[in-house]
A and B are shown apart, each in its own frame.
Chain A
Amino acid sequence: MLKYLGKRIARSFLTLIIILTAVFCLLRLMPIEGYFQNFDKMTPQQIQVGLKEMGLTDPLPVQVIRFFKDLLQGDLGVSRIYRSNVPVSDILKDKVPVSVKLGVWSMALSLLVGLPMGALMARYKYRWFDKIGTLFIVCIQAVPAAVYFLYIQLYGTKLMGVGLLFQINDPKYWVLPVLSMSLGNIAFYGMWLRRYMVDESNKDYVKLAKAKGMSEGGVMFKHIFRNAFVPLAQYIPTAFLNTVIGSIYIESLYSIPGMGGLLVTVIKKHDNTMVQGIVLLYACVGVLGLLLGDLLMVLLDPRISLGKKEGDR
C-alpha cells in the first residue's frame, strides 16, 4: 500500500512536470504582439529589449530549466501585465482562499443534502418523496444554471435583506452563492445515489439480509448505502476540488473576489507567468483529486487493493 502510494505520488509529480513543460512551450508559440500594449508604434529594438527583459530571447530549454529552478524555490514569478510587477503567488494568495471557502461550504451543503435525499428517494421509491425529488433533479438538470442563478439572486437578495455588493466578512452574503453553487451537485448526488441504491437493492445479499430478519431501514442503511456509495466516492474528491477552483459565473454574478475566470483573463492578456501559476494550481488540484478518489475507494471497498498487480491474486 505504502509502496503503491509512493509510486503513485512520484507519477503524479511526473504528470505535473509534463503538463507545466507543455504549457510553457505552448505559451512561447504565441505571437509576440500580445506582450506589448502599443506594439504597432514600437521599433524592432524596443521590442527586442522588451523581450529580453522578460527573458524570452533565451533558447527554450534554458527558459524551461530556469522556470523549474525558480519553481523549486517557491518562486512563481512576477505578473507583468495583469498586475504589473506583483508576484504571482501574492495575487493568488488573496484569491484562492475566497474560492476555497466558497467551495468547501458548497461541497458540504451538497453532500449533506444530496446524499440523504438520494437515500430517502431510494427508500421510498415511487412514493411522494421520490417524485418530488425527481422533479427537483429534472428541473435542476434541464433548466440552464444561468437562469435559476439569476432568480436566486433576484429574489434571494431581497429575502435575505442583503445588498448586491458582496461583503466578504458578512456570513449572510455567503448564503446565496453557496446555495447556487450547491444546487447542481445536490441534484447530481441525489440522482446517482438513488440510482445506485436502487440497483443494489435488487442484489442477492440484500435479499439475504432481509431474509435474516433485518428491517428495511436497517438493510438500507447498513448494507445498501455503503455499497451504493462506493462508485460515487471516487468522484467526490475531484468534484470537491473542481468546486474549489471556483465558478466563473457565480463569482462574477455576486462580484466575489475569487479566482473563477482568472485563467481566461490572464491568457487573454498574455500574462505568461500568471498562466503558468494558475495552470500549476489547477494541475495539482486535478492530480490530487484523482489520487484522493482512488484512495477513498480503497478505504471503502476491501476488494480493491492498490498494492497488487492485475491478475495477482
Chain B
Amino acid sequence: MNQEKILEVNDLDIKFELRGKTLHAIRGISLDLYKGEILAIVGESGSGKSVFTKSFMGLLERNGYVDGGSAVYSGAEDRENVELTAVKREKDWLKIRGHEIAMIMQDPMTSLSPLKTIGVQIMEAVLLHQKVGHSEAKKRTLKYLMDVGIQDPEKRFDQYPHEFSGGMRQRVVIAIAIACNPQILICDEPTTALDVTIQAQILDLIKELRHKYRLSVILITHDLGVVANIADRVAVMYAGDIVEIGTCEDIFYDARHPYTWALLSSLPQVGVKGTDLFSIPGTPPNLYTEIKGDAFAPRNPQALKIDFVKRPPYFEVSPTHKAKTWLLDPRAPKVDPPPVVSKIRNGGLL
C-alpha cells in the first residue's frame, strides 16, 4: 500500500490514575492512518477505543495521561508534523482540535447545546477555524447544512436542537465537525444511538462527505455490520491493544486472531434456526493488573501454553494484514477457526 500516512501511532501507552491505582487502558498500540481512508476500530465496551482516539485531541479525562510511545500527525498543510503526545498546553491543542482533527460523538440527543440555534452552533465552528466574516460564515453554514442533507436550511438555521429528530441532530453534529474543516474525522460510535434505517443514512452520509471533503475517517464501533458497510480497513481492539488489523476482506474472510473469530462467531447468522447465538465466555481482563501473555488467552478455549506466558508480536499475514497471535508462528500447531468463520470464508454469509 503506497498511500500517504496522515497519522502514525507507535507503541502508545495510556494510563489512568484512579483512587491510587493505575489503570493501563492502552497497552502499546501501533497504528497508521492513511489519507482518505475509513479505518474502523471495533472492540467491546471498555477495550479502549474511545480513549485511544481521544488522546489525539487532548481530550482525555484529567486523570489520564500518555505514558509512552508516539503519535505523529502529518496532515497539516501549512506546518510541520506534530508529535501529538508532546502537546501539553491548552493553547497548542486548540490548533489541533477541530482544526486538524474533528470528532463526532455517540449520542446526538445530548451533543448539542439545547439553548442555541443549530445555525449558531455550526457557525461557531466556521468562525473558529475559517478566517471569514460573519455573513460569509452564515453562507457557508447554510451550505454545510445542505451538504449533510438538511432540507430548507434557511429555516432550519434558526431552529433549536429540540426541534430536530435524532438522525437530523446527528447530521447537524456532522455539519459542525465538517465546518471545522479538519483533515481527520473521528466518529465515535456515530450510529449507536440511532435506529437502523437512520444508521444506514448516516453511514452513507459519512462515506459521501469523506470524498467531498477529502477526510480520513476513524470510525469507532462495536457493530460489525456497520464495519462491513463502510470501512476500508478494520482494526480489532481487545483490552487496550489492536490484536488484528487488515482490510475489510482480510478481517471478514481471512481472520486469524482467536478474538476476531469469536467476534465473528457471535454475529447472528441468517438461515440458522434453533441454535443459541454464540457468546464469548468470561470477561475482559482487569486492566489494573499487569497482563501476562495474550490478553485473550483466559477466554480462549484453544489457547496455547505460550499464550499465558509471552505476549505475541505482530505476525504479518499479507502486506495489509497482521495479527498478534502465536497461532501464526511457524512452530504453532494448526488450529482451525470455528465453523461459522470457515463458513463465512467459504460461502460468504455476510
Q: Are the C-beta atoms of B115 and A302 separated by less than 8 Å? A: yes
CA of A215 to CA of B99 in the docked complex: distance in angstroms? 12
Q: Are the C-beta atoms of A207 and B113 separated by less than 8 Å? A: no
B349 interface residue (CB < 8 Å to A): no
Give the chain B neighbours of A301 by CB distance below 8 A: 114-115
Q: Are the C-beta atoms of A205 and B113 separated by less than 8 Å? A: yes
Give the chain B neighbours of A207 by CB distance below 8 A: 59, 105, 111
A94 interface residue (CB < 8 Å to B): no
Q: Are the C-beta atoms of A303 and B114 separated by less than 8 Å? A: yes
Stretch of B17-25, B173-181, B328-336 at the chain-chain interface: B173-181
Give the chain A neighbours of B98 by CB distance below 8 A: 211-214
CA of A260 to CA of B177 in the docked complex: distance in angstroms? 57
Q: A205-B113, A302-B115, A302-B162 are in contact. Are A211 and B94 (CB under 8 A)?
A: no
A-B pair count, CB < 8 Å, reads: 75
* A interface footprint on B107-148 (CB within 8 Å = 1, 0 otherwise): 100111111100000001100110000000000000000000
Bin the interface of chain A by size: 20 to 34
Q: Are the C-beta atoms of A212 and B111 separated by less than 8 Å? A: no
Q: Are the C-beta atoms of A204 and B115 separated by less than 8 Å? A: no
Interface residues of B in 55-109 (CB under 8 A from A): 57, 59, 90, 94, 96-99, 102-103, 105, 107
CA of A211 to CA of B50 in the docked complex: distance in angstroms? 13
Q: Are the C-beta atoms of A210 and B59 separated by less than 8 Å? A: yes
Kindly provide the distance from the CB of A220 to the nearest chain B CB, expressed in whole angstroms.
Answer: 12
Kindly provide the distance from the CB of B239 to the nearest chain A CB, expressed in whole angstroms.
Answer: 25
Q: Which residue of chain B has its CB nearest to the CB of A223?
A: B113
Kindly provide the distance from the CB of B73 to the nearest chain A CB, expressed in whole angstroms.
Answer: 14
A113 interface residue (CB < 8 Å to B): no
Tell me which of A203, A205, A213, A303 has the highest count of chain B C-beta atoms within 10 A of its own C-beta: A213
Q: Which residue of chain A has its CB nearest to the CB of B163?
A: A302
Interface residues of B in 139-176 (CB under 8 A from A): 160, 162, 173, 176
Give the chain A neighbours of B129 by CB distance below 8 A: 213
Kindly provide the distance from the CB of A237 to the nearest chain B CB, expressed in whole angstroms.
Answer: 19
Q: Are the C-beta atoms of A212 and B160 separated by less than 8 Å? A: no
Kindly provide the distance from the CB of A225 to the nearest chain B CB, expressed in whole angstroms.
Answer: 10
Residue in A205, A215, A226 whose beta carbon sits within 8 Å of that of B112 in the complex: A205
CA of A210 to CA of B90 in the docked complex: distance in angstroms? 11
CA of A302 to CA of B163 in the docked complex: distance in angstroms? 10
A208 interface residue (CB < 8 Å to B): yes
Q: Which residue of chain A has its CB nearest to the CB of B109?
A: A204
Interface residues of A in 271-308 (CB under 8 A from B): 300-303
Q: Are the C-beta atoms of B105 and A210 separated by less than 8 Å? A: no
Q: Are the C-beta atoms of A208 and B115 separated by less than 8 Å? A: no
Give the chain B neighbours of A209 by CB distance below 8 A: 113, 124
Q: Which residue of chain B has its CB nearest to the CB of A206?
A: B113
Give the chain A neighbours of B107 by CB distance below 8 A: 204
* B interface footprint on A186-214 (CB within 8 Å = 1, 0 otherwise): 00000000000000000111011111111
Q: Which residue of chain A has its CB nearest to the CB of B108?
A: A204
A residues near B (Cβ < 8 Å) are 203-205, 207-216, 222-223, 226-227, 230, 300-303
| Closest A-B pairs by Cβ, 3 of them | A213-B98, A204-B110, A213-B97
